[in-house]
Structures are given as structure tokens and as C-alpha cells.
């Protein structure tokens, strides 16, 4: 997967280069800087002394010494001063210069901590947003690189507070681990009853797509009804079209949709956060059976509706379920029209779910 988020300690990551959140002296400090110097050993500091420091927003390369990583890229993030002193641009420059330095030196696997989000006081959500967007943009033109954002403090609740609507959906499904009990959609079922007829001719995904203004809870409640009783298959917009492709494999449907959407293969697999080599494997195997997260990544890249996504999933032997956090979160983004695979992965990461892509 070209870009992923993980929980962990960056000093333990085996890759071509880990990035250090250093200060302009490059002579070590606390936080991740201190951890990297401790793990690398004194030779790292000795080499840093020869570099003559580093300006904020810039990056410099050293060996990794006793670290599992071969190299360390030292970058200096901005100190947060309220956001009006060029901090966003400087933080963006940290990721861009570090990745450029890696690419120039043929380093293909890079791991970052969340630069400036510790002692330098950068608000974590904004720091993560800049990291994700800058890394994703860089990977657009460097499809052979793999980048990991390593989040050290495993306190998921803070990240979940960034997604109040998703938390509400998951709480109602009793899936957010917030101690809420009760059935998936308790309390909202009565509200959904009058509307049940509305979904008579839709499957779950179609129903979710249809309701644009509903509260999260009502949508979830309707979904329950849609799954509770066998619904007649949705009457597809063009029955002939549907029948024409009724027995398509996953690969056949994927390749047809890529063409139908006027996308190139590369545009699609990059937007899906799918590795180029894996895409080639899928393209050459008409019976390829992807993981569910891979199939959904392609649906997101193609910006399919919930119903079309369900059809593509079916070709790979999967279906949506309104009671799993992963499906609820993915459907929330599809229904709200946000097809940014990296933003979807930030939310999935906040709820300890599998990320989409491969
Ligand atoms: N692995 C991954 N991430 C880590 C680790 C680790 N072992 N240790 C800390 N972090 C995370 C923090 O949780 C934070 O999200 O790194 C992020 C950056 O925090 P800091 O290390 O405090 O770096 P920063 O905010 O950029 O401040 C840099 O602090 O340590 C000094 O010398 C450094 O002066 C510089 C300043």
C-alpha cells in the first residue's frame, strides 16, 4: 500500500529511511529526536555535527547506524505560533523536502512521525491533515515509493473526536467501543418505520445513497430495515446493461468501469492507494479475488455510488454489512460524496479499522 498510517515506535521500523523531527541545531533533543539518537547510537550525533544545522522546513540525510532503518532524514518542523507565521507552508515543506531527498537517493520506503505535533505544539489534527495531503500529492508522481505515517501515542479517542458524525453512527450500532449498549439502531427504529416503504425497491446500499438529509442515526436505522428483510433486487437503471454484465468477474467489471470513467490505469490505482505491481497482477488475472479493502479502494477511486460499490463488491464475493464499523465508515464517506481515499483512511485509522488500498 503506497501510503498507510500505523501506530508504533518509529525507531523500530525497518525501512530505507525514517524521518526525524529535529531542531535547527541537529544536535538531538527530546521526543522522537531523542528516541532516534538513543537507538542509533553516538555515531549519529557525530555525523550530525558535520552537517552545520538545518533550516526550518528543510531536510538533511545521515546514515541510520544502529537503527533498523538504513538512513535518517532529519527535518525541522515549524514551532506553532497560532498559524499565521507560515507554519502550514513550512510543515508542508518538511514532508516535501524529506521525500525529495529520499527520492534523490533512491530510497523507496520512508516512515514519518507527525512532525511538529509534539513539543512544537502544532495542533495534531491539522498537522496530520498536512502530512497526509503532502505525502499523497508526492506519491502521485512517485508511484514506486511507499510511505508510512507512524503515530506514537495510541490514544484513539482523541482522533475519534475529529469525526462526531461517524461516532454517532457507530455508537448507535454499538460498535465504537464507547461502552454504548443496545441494538445497532435502538431508539431510531420507530422513526424509520414510516419510511420503510420508500426503500421497498432498493437494496441497502441504494437506500443509504438515497437518503441525503437524514441524520446518521436514521440512516443507520433504515439500513437495518433494508437488511432485515430480503429486499427485491434493486431495479437497475438499465436492465439491459445489468443483464449484459451479469456474469462479469471482478477484474472484468473493474477494467470496464475504468474505461467507462475515462480513467487511465495509473490514475485509478494511484487514486485507490493501490500498489502498481498489484494492479498489474489484477489486470492480468480475470479471476483475481481481491481483499474487501482492495475492492472498496477501487470503488472509491471510481467514485461509485453505494449501490454500484455493492455490485462491484459482489463480483469479488463480498457485501456491505450495516453493522461493521469498517462498512459504516466507508459508506458514510461514499454517501457524503467524499472519495478521498486518504481522508477515508484517516477515519478508518482513528477507529482501528483496516485501511483501504493495497
Ligand atoms: N516514534 C514515533 N513518533 C514519536 C516517537 C516515536 N518513538 N516519539 C514521539 N513521537 C511523536 C510525538 O508523539 C509527536 O506526535 O512524534 C511527534 C513529534 O513530537 P516531537 O518529537 O516532540 O517533535 P516536534 O513536535 O517536531 O518538536 C521538535 O522537540 O525533541 C525536540 O529536538 C526536538 O527541538 C525539537 C522539538
Q: Tell how far the Cα of 86 is from the centroid of ligand 1, in angstroms.
A: 20
Work out the percent of the chain whose per-residue pLDDT is above 90: 76
Going by pLDDT thresholds of 50, 70 and 90, the confidence category of residue 194 is very low
Q: Which uninterrupted H or E stretch holds 22? A: strand 17-22
Q: Which residues line ligand 1 (CB under 6 A)?
A: 9-11, 21-23, 29-35, 77, 113-120, 150, 152-153
Where would I find the H helices in 173-318? 189-192, 204-210, 216-228, 239-244, 250-260, 265-271, 276-283, 292-301, 306-315
pLDDT at 32: 98
Distance from C-alpha of 111 to C-alpha of 7, rounded to nearest angstrom: 12
Calpha distance 19→114 (Å, rounded): 10
Task: Locate the ligand 1 atom nearest the alpha carbon of residue 28 and give its number.
Answer: 32
Lowest mean pLDDT among 3-7, 173-177, 294-298: 173-177
Q: What is the CATH number of domain 3-154?
A: 3.40.220.10
Residue 71: is its pLDDT beyond 80? yes
Ligand 1: centre distance to CA 352 (Å): 22
State residue 57's pLDDT score: 98
* DSSP designation for 354: P
Question: What is the rounded end-to-end Cα distance, in angstroms, of the chain?
Answer: 4
Going from the Cα of 190 to the center of ligand 1, the distance in angstroms, rounded, reads 50
40 Cα to the center of ligand 1, angstroms: 16
Q: Which atom of ligand 1 is nearest to the CA of 122?
A: 25
Which is nearest to 195 in space by CA: 165, 226, 164? 226
Coil/strand/helix, residue 247? coil
- Which cell goes with 41? 547510537
Instruction: Tell which wins on pLDDT, 321 or 33.
Output: 33
Evaluated on CA atoms 290, 295, 298, 304, the torsion sign reads positive
Backbone angles phi, psi at 237, to 5 degrees: -55, -45
Cell 533550516, residue located: 55
**pLDDT tens profile 150-163:** 999 767 778 999 99
> pLDDT-based confidence at 217, cuts 50/70/90?
low
Q: Which residues of 142-158 are buried (b: 16+ CB within 10 A; e: fewer)?
A: ebebbbbbbbbeeebee
pLDDT beyond 80 at 204: no
Atom of ligand 1 nearest to the CA of 31: 21
Cα atoms in the Cβ-side hemisphere of radius 13 Å centred on 55: 5
φ, ψ of residue 211 to 5 degrees: the values are -80, 110
Confidence at residue 304, expressed as pLDDT on a 0 to 100 scale: 98
- pLDDT value of residue 157: 79
Cα–Cα distance, 131 to 141 (Å, whole number) = 16
The residue-averaged pLDDT of 103-130 equals 98
Contacts of 234 (CB under 8 A, 6+ apart): 201, 202, 203, 206, 307
pLDDT at 220: 52
- Residue 349 to residue 302: CA distance in whole angstroms: 22
Number of Cβ atoms within 10 Å of the Cβ of 250: 24
**What is the arithmetic mean of pLDDT over 69-76?**
98
CA of 34 to the centre of ligand 1 (A): 8
Residues recorded for the chain: 358
pLDDT of res. 322: 79
- Mean of the pLDDT values across residues 134-142? 97
What residues does each domain of the chain span?
3-154, 156-358
Mean pLDDT for the chain?
Answer: 86
Model confidence over 221-261: pLDDT tens digits?
Answer: 544 544 444 444 555 556 666 666 778 999 999 999 999 99
The yes-or-no verdict on residue 6 having pLDDT over 70 is yes
Given a contact cutoff of 8 angstroms between Cβ atoms, the answer to whether 316 and 326 are in contact is no
For residue 180, the model assigns a pLDDT of 38
Answer yes or no: is pLDDT of 356 > 90: yes
- Secondary structure of residue 76 in the 3-state scheme: strand
Rg of the chain (C-alpha set) = 23
Question: What pLDDT score does 139 carry?
Answer: 97
How far, in Å, is the centroid of ligand 1 from the Cα of 21? 6
pLDDT band with cut points at 50, 70 and 90 for residue 178: very low
Measure 23 CA to ligand 1 centroid, in angstroms. Answer: 10
- Residue of 31, 37, 55, 149 with the most ligand 1 atoms within 8 Å of its CB, for mutation: 31
Nearest C-alpha to atom 26 of ligand 1 is from which residue? Answer: 116
Do residues 237 and 281 make contact, with C-beta atoms less than 8 angstroms apart?
no
Ligand 1 atom closest to Cα of 33?
Answer: 30
Number of Cβ within a 10 Å radius of residue 343: 15
Of the listed ranges 89-93, 136-140, 211-215, the one predicted with least confidence: 211-215
Q: Between 176 and 83, name the one with better pLDDT.
A: 83
The pLDDT, as a whole number, for residue 260 is 96
pLDDT at 323: 85
Amino acid at each position: 500500500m503506497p501510503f498507510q498510517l500505523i501506530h508504533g515506535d518509529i525507531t523500530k521500523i525497518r525501512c530505507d529511511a525514517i524521518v526525524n523531527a529535529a531542531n535547527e541545531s541537529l544536535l538531538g533533543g527530546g521526543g522522537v529526536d531523542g528516541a532516534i539518537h538513543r537507538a542509533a547510537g553516538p555515531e549519529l550525533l557525530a555525523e550530525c555535527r558535520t552537517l552545520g544545522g538545518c533550516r526550518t522546513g528543510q531536510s538533511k540525510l545521515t546514515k541510520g547506524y544502529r537503527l533498523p532503518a538504513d538512513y535518517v532524514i532529519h527535518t525541522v518542523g515549524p514551532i506553532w505560533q497560532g498559524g499565521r507565521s507560515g507554519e502550514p507552508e513550512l510543515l508542508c515543506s518538511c514532508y516535501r523536502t524529506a521525500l525529495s531527498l529520499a527520492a534523490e537517493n533512491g530510497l523507496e520506503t520512508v516512515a514519518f512521525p507527525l512532525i511538529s505535533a509534539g513539543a512544537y505544539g502544532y495542533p495534531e489534527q491539522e498537522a496530520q491533515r498536512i502530512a497526509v495531503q503532502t505525502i499523497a500529492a508526492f506519491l502521485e508522481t512517485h508511484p514506486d515509493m511507499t510511505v508510512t505515517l507512524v503515530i506514537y501515542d495510541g490514544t484513539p479517542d482523541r482522533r475519534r473526536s475529529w469525526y462526531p458524525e461517524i461516532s454517532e453512527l457507530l455508537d448507535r450500532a454499538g460498535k465504537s467501543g464507547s461502552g454504548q449498549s443496545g441494538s445497532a439502531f435502538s431508539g431510531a427504529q420507530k422513526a424509520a418505520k414510516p419510511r420503510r416503504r420508500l426503500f421497498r425497491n432498493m437494496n441497502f446500499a441504494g437506500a443509504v445513497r438515497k437518503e441525503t438529509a437524514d441524520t446518521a442515526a436514521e440512516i443507520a436505522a433504515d439500513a437495518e430495515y433494508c437488511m432485515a428483510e430480503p429486499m427485491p433486487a434493486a431495479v437497475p437503471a438499465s436492465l439491459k446493461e445489468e443483464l449484459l454484465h451479469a456474469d462479469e468477474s471482478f477484474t472484468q467489471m473493474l477494467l470496464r468501469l475504468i474505461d467507462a470513467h475515462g480513467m487511465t490505469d495509473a490514475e485509478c490505482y494511484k487514486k485507490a492507494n493501490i500498489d502498481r505491481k498489484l494492479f498489474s497482477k489484477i489486470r492480468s488475472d480475470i479471476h483475481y479475488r481481491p481483499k474487501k479493502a482492495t475492492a472498496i479502494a477501487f470503488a472509491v477511486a471510481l467514485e461509485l455510488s453505494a449501490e454500484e460499490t455493492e455490485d462491484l463488491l459482489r463480483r469479488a464475493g463480498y457485501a456491505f454489512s450495516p453493522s461493521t464499523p469498517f462498512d459504516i465508515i466507508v459508506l458514510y464517506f461514499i454517501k457524503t460524496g467524499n472519495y478521498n481515499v486518504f481522508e477515508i483512511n484517516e477515519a478508518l485509522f482513528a477507529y482501528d479499522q483496516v485501511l483501504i488500498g493495497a
